[in-house]
Amino acid sequence: MWKWLHPYAKAERAYQLCNTLLPYFTVITVVCLVVGWVWGLAYAPADYQQKDSYRIIFIHVPSAILSMGAYSSMAIAAIIALVWQIRNAELAVIAIAPVGAAMTAIALITGAAWGKPMWGAWWVWDARLTSELILLFLYFGVLSLYHAFEDKKSAGRAACILAIVGVINLPIIHFSVEWWNTLHQGATITKFDTSAIDASMLWPLLINIAAFAGFVGVITLIRLKNEILQCEKHRPWVRDLVSRG
């Protein structure tokens, strides 16, 4: 496996791999996004309790899942970057961070817009909302640390260390917030039970999750390509690539 994987540590090969993968991810994303949104908005039946407002679930849940998923993949890339000293993995950390932050922001905005009609307030200090907000801070921390360094080599490694520290803390933060919440407020909020969801709602939800995952993939690939170009811009292969158009 190592023999097969190792060439991709080279920037040029990684760039080509991004180019090969990008069309597949784009197709999956576009198809799933269109199908998922149309199905979710127009064809899925209304919830008997929450009526049509529940349709926010089709973007809220995928973005919340992907915000955590993007953070863990960022941390995995960071561990790979630090343990095996692979520069491309460092670049991947930086490529994932913005789209992860975007997912977190979407989860927060849609959570607020769902909370207003259901709980009567834009923001409640619910455990999940609070840990999502802290996740957003962690993303901002990684991004601003990276952009604060002049030297992009140490910037990448510093961001990797912070991502790993963050991922160790994330479960602690999550459970402490959950625990804090039950202690202070009690279970005043009826949680939407996703496991008991009907198939007519589950399918569009799954398709939307696939769409959001594909979107994270697309943005990561595009940004990884940018980062590779940025740090290899004096190399001949980049010059060839650019002058070929």
Partner 1 sequence: MQFESFSDFISMGGYGFYVWLSFGSCALVLSSVLISSLFDGKRLKQQVRLQIEREARIKKAQQEQAV
Partner 2 sequence: MKISHSYWQLFYAVYKKDLTLAFRQRAEIVNPLLFFLIVITLFPLAIGPEPALLARMAPGIIWVAALLSTMLGLDKVFRDDFNDGSLEQLIASAYPLPLSVLAKVLAHWTTTGLPMVLMAPVFALLMNLDSQLLSAMLLTLLIGTPLLSFIGAIGAALTVGLQKGGILMSLLVLPLYIPVLIFATSAIDTSSMSLAYGGQLAILGAMLAVAAVMAPLAISSALKVSVS
Binding residues for partner 1, rule: CB under 8 A, are 37, 41-46, 51-53, 55-56, 59-60, 63, 98-99, 102, 105-106, 109-110, 113-114, 116-117, 215, 218-219, 222-223, 225-226, 229-230, 233, 238-239, 242-243
By C-beta, is 51 or 153 nearer to partner 1? 51
**60 contacts 111 by C-beta, under 8 angstroms:** yes
56 binds, among partner 1, partner 2, none (CB under 5 to 8 A by kind): partner 1
Q: Which is nearer to partner 1, 53 or 72 (CB)?
A: 53
Dihedral of alpha carbons 213, 160, 143, 65, sign: positive
Q: What character string, x for contact with partner 2 (CB under 8 A) and - otherwise, covers 17-56? A: ----------------------------------------
85 touches partner 2 (CB under 8 A): no
Contact of residue 223 among partner 2, partner 1, none (CB under 5-8 Å per partner type):
partner 1
Q: What is the total count of residues that contact partner 2 (CB under 8 A)?
A: 27
The interface partner of residue 106, options being partner 2, partner 1, none and the CB cut-off 5 to 8 Å by kind, is: partner 1
Decide: residue 243, CB within 10 A, 0-12 exposed, 13-18 middle, 19+ buried.
exposed
Given the complex with partner 1, which of 59 and 92 has the nearer CB atom? 59
For the CB of residue 168, give the shortest distance to partner 2 in the complex, in Å: 7
Pick one of partner 1, partner 2, none as the site partner of residue 129 (Cβ within 5 to 8 A by kind): none
**Residue 237 touches partner 2, criterion: CB under 8 A:** no
Q: Which of 170, 203, 47 is nearest to 117 (CA)?
A: 47
For partner 2, the binding residues (CB under 8 A) are: 82, 134, 137-138, 140-141, 144-145, 148-149, 154, 157-158, 161-162, 164-166, 168-169, 172-173, 176-177, 179-180, 183
